């Protein structure tokens, strides 16, 4: 368990592939043509909730249990684009058995354009 600290920043980068989008379409049922039929550059649009797995990956790395996650999808993400997700602990409250926190999340493409913004409220249990 990593103790959350106000102001701490975590970052994760990922490039989604056409195969990633297809697997998510199979799992989620979101198989709209925009996610299955490549454009003239061979790319497909990444599902919004697949993009939202970037902050959940950071949460998993830190043993976070999310209570609420509020997403704002700002622009499409396409396969082959590098997306960088940055999460910052805005508030952290310590209790006897856990930490409660709020994080501000932003995911950006290589042009530094925000593609997703999120607020996450969650907990991290203390080690026994």
Host domain of residue 98 = 9-16+47-125
User: Looking at residue 46, what DSSP letter applies?
Assistant: P
Q: Is 22 a member of any domain? A: no
Q: Is 29 a member of any domain? A: no
Q: Is 117 a member of any domain? A: yes
User: Looking at residue 53, what DSSP letter applies?
Assistant: H
Distances (CA, A) of 104 to 7, 25, 31, 62, 70: 10, 27, 30, 15, 10
How confident is the model over 58-97, as pLDDT tens digits? Answer: 999 999 999 999 999 999 999 999 999 999 999 999 999 9
The total domain count for the chain is 1
Q: What is d(CA 5, CA 13) in angstroms, rounded to the nearest whole number? A: 22
Task: For residue 35, give the nearest of 50, 49, 25, 27 by alpha carbon.
Answer: 25
Instruction: Assign residue 95 the CATH number of its domain.
Output: 3.10.129.10
Q: Is 83 a member of any domain? A: yes
pLDDT at position 127, please?
86
pTM of the model: 0.92
Average pLDDT in the 5-16 region? 97
Q: Is 36 a member of any domain? A: no
Q: Is 21 a member of any domain? A: no
């Amino acid at each position: 368990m990593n103790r959350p600290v106000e102001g701490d920043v975590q970052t994760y980068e990922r490039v989604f592939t056409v195969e990633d989008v297809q697997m998510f379409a199979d799992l989620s049922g979101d198989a709209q043509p925009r996610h299955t039929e490549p454009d003239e550059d061979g790319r497909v649009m990444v599902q919004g909730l697949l993009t939202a797995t970037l902050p959940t990956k950071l949460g998993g790395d830190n043993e976070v249990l999310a209570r609420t996650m509020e997403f704002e999808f700002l622009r499409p993400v396409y396969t082959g684009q590098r997306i960088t997700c940055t999460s910052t602990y805005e508030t952290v409250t310590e209790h006897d058995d856990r930490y409660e926190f709020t994080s501000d999340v932003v995911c950006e493409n290589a042009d530094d354009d925000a593609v997703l913004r999120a607020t996450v409220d969650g907990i991290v249990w203390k080690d026994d």
